[in-house]
Structure 1
């Protein structure tokens, strides 16, 4: 199947089917947030928009990249998020790459956000939809981030059916610059387990679908193959 792999700067049209990949860490964090009870994730274009959305709606929470900051309730780290209880909450997420990529294709008929922790369910969702060629948006490093490209290629291979060995793709991701920066503590808002948590294959049994809801771009988990999230 003739999938397309592009960086955010290369998006010149509205694709029919888009899978936006951010392994380290936006869409690993989003999956963890859903596993901790978040009902939906609203994707914000700026930190000020994230705070405005939160402040105008009681009970909403806001999350961003980097170090903790006033007004934000969480940072973009799966290790720091995994013990939180977000049952029934709406989370507003703003990150450097992942949310930017998702918003860039928000008008596409079908948009999924993905990482290794939901790779298999994402592929099965697309196969069930008979989605055809997919535009994979590789969000990191202007489309060159090997952890995101490896994950995108793995999902693309899984869409064809049959057994696909995940280990080579995970090895590429672990050897990536983003993994080295995380492991070295060079990114703020960091937990020592973040790299390992980002490289857990199919940790969660859902895909994550982004849709326009009124004026917002909203990410929700979609259970795949009848398994419970």
Structure 2
């Protein structure tokens, strides 16, 4: 299985298979949303679109990066979401990097969104689909985010069938700039448990697949 690791600005052509990685925090939050019962997650192109979708669908749950804002129900924090009942709900998510990365590859044949909490399930799906070439989209810091690259490399090794320990990859992520900024309160809308929750490997047994539904990019739990 051939693996490429690219930042969003480096995506000059549409890959056949893309794994979009955002560890801190978009796709850790997405996994928690599904674990809390969400039916699907609409990946919004902008805050305005997220608010417009929420306005047309009052039962939807809108979340964003940073501090709470009018019209939004939640922020992009796994710890803050872990006690919310989302049973049967549609979530609208707009973040700085993760949702942008997924939308950048929306025309790919297969788009998976991933973080450490769904790493093995993501790798297993890639193996089951027999993917020959996979582009890992390292969303943070224009492709330089160490936590996203570490997670992408770990998933790539597992997808290729390598027996590899997660500890070293988690250590890299824990020492990343993003982890420091979350821990130090540089980023807003943060819970003290966010970093630890983002560094849990294989917390959830499902992969997450994104695909176009009409004009919307929609993320769902992969069917078994």
TM-score, structure 1 length as denominator?
0.96
Aligned to 2:152: 152
Aligned to 1:202: 202
**Structure 2 CA distance for aligned equivalents of residues 26 and 38 of structure 1:** 15
**Structure 1 CA distance for aligned equivalents of residues 98 and 150 of structure 2:** 15
**Structure 2 CA distance for aligned equivalents of residues 119 and 162 of structure 1:** 13
Aligned to 2:95: 95
CA distances 1:126-184 after superposition (whole Å, capped 9, x unpaired): 10000112000000000000000000000000011142100000000000000000111
**Within 5 Å, which residues of 2 pair with 1:98-177?**
98-177=98-177
Aligned to 1:227: none
**Structure 2 CA distance for aligned equivalents of residues 90 and 55 of structure 1:** 13
Aligned to 2:48: 48
Corresponding pairs, count: 224
- Uncovered stretches (5+) of structure 2, i.e. residues with no partner: none
- Uncovered stretches (5+) of structure 1, i.e. residues with no partner: 225-229
DSSP-derived class of the 1:127 partner: helix
Query: By how many angstroms is 1:16 displaced?
Result: 0.3
CA distances 1:184-215 after superposition (whole Å, capped 9, x unpaired): 11111000000000000000000000011111
Contact 1:205/1:223, CA 8 A, preserved across alignment: no
**Structure 2 CA distance for aligned equivalents of residues 130 and 153 of structure 1:** 18
Query: By how many angstroms is 1:2 displaced?
Result: 2.4
TM-score, structure 2 length as denominator?
0.98
Cα separation, partners in 2 of 1:223 and 1:116, compared to 1, 3 Å: farther
Moved over 2 A (4+): none
